Chains A and B, each alone.
Chain A
Amino acid sequence: MIENIKFNSSYNFAFIDETTKKEIRRKLLKAICIPGYQVPYSSPEMPIARGWGTGGLHLTLALIGKTDTLKMIDQGSDASVNACNLRDFVQLTTNCKTTYDTNEATLIQTRHRITEEKLTDKQIMVFQVPQPEPLRRVERYEYKTRQMHAESDYAKMWLTLYEAFVKWGDVMHGAGYPVMVNGRYIMSPSPIPRWDVPNLNMADCIYLFGAGREKRLYAVPPHTRVEPLEFEDVKFHIENFKDVKCESTGYNIAYMDEMYQDDGITKKFYINDSNFLDKMIEKIAVNQHSNKYINQLKKNEQ
Chain B
Amino acid sequence: MSSSIKNDWVLKVENLTKIYGSYSDETIALTGPQRGTNICPITGSIVACANISFELYPGEVLGIVGESGSGKSTIVKQLFFDMEVTNGNAYLKPYKNGTVNILTESNQKKRYMRNHLMGMVYQNPRDGLNFSFTSGGNIAEKLLMADMFHVGKIRERASSLLSKTEVPVARMDDLPAYFSGGMQQRVQISKAIANNPPLLFLDEITSGLDVSVQAKVLDLIRGLQRELGIAMIVVSHDLSVIRMLTDRTLVLKDGRIVERGLTDQILQDPQHEYTQLLVSSLL
> Which residues of A approach B to under 8 Å, CB–CB?
147, 150-153, 155-156, 158-159, 162-163, 165-167, 231-234
Residues on the A chain within 8 Å of B144, using CB: 155, 158-159, 162
CA of A260 to CA of B109, assembled, Å:
55
Query: A150-B108, A156-B141, A231-B151 provided; 7 other pairs, C-beta below 8 A?
Result: A162-B137, A163-B134, A163-B137, A166-B136, A231-B150, A233-B151, A234-B151
CA of A231 to CA of B155, assembled, Å:
13
The reply to whether B134 and A166 contact each other, CB–CB distance below 8 Å, is yes
Residues on the B chain within 8 Å of A156, using CB: 141
CB A277 to nearest CB in B, in angstroms, measures 38
A-B contact pairs, 26 of them (CB 8 A): A150-B108, A152-B108, A153-B111, A153-B145, A155-B141, A158-B144, A158-B149, A159-B133, A159-B137, A159-B141, A159-B144, A162-B137, A162-B140, A162-B144, A163-B133, A163-B134, A163-B137, A165-B151, A166-B137, A166-B155, A231-B150, A231-B151, A232-B149, A232-B150, A233-B150, A233-B153
From 134 to 163 in chain B, residues with beta carbon under 8 angstroms from any chain A beta carbon are 134, 136-137, 140-142, 144-145, 149-155
Of the residues A147, A163, A167, A231, contact of B149 by C-beta under 8 Å: A231
- Contact residues on B (Cβ < 8 Å of other chain), bracket: 20 to 34
Chain A at the B interface: mostly helix, strand, loop or mixed? helix
Q: How many interface contacts (CB-CB < 8 Å) are there between A and B?
A: 48
Residues on the B chain within 8 Å of A158, using CB: 144, 149
Q: Is B107 an interface residue (CB 8 A)?
A: yes
Chain B at the A interface: mostly helix, strand, loop or mixed? helix
Residues on the B chain within 8 Å of A165, using CB: 151
CA of A234 to CA of B140, assembled, Å:
15
Q: Is B173 an interface residue (CB 8 A)?
A: yes
CA of A41 to CA of B134, assembled, Å:
38
CB A135 to nearest CB in B, in angstroms, measures 14
CA of A182 to CA of B274, assembled, Å:
59
CA of A153 to CA of B153, assembled, Å:
21
CB A167 to nearest CB in B, in angstroms, measures 8
- In the A-B complex, the 6 residue pairs with the smallest Cβ-Cβ separation, listed nearest first, are A232-B150, A155-B145, A158-B144, A155-B144, A151-B108, A231-B151
- Closest A-chain residue to B150, C-beta based? A232
CB A165 to nearest CB in B, in angstroms, measures 6
CA of A165 to CA of B107, assembled, Å:
31
The reply to whether B107 and A151 contact each other, CB–CB distance below 8 Å, is yes
CA of A152 to CA of B106, assembled, Å:
13
CB B187 to nearest CB in A, in angstroms, measures 15
CA of A133 to CA of B247, assembled, Å:
49
From 201 to 236 in chain B, residues with beta carbon under 8 angstroms from any chain A beta carbon are none
CB A144 to nearest CB in B, in angstroms, measures 13
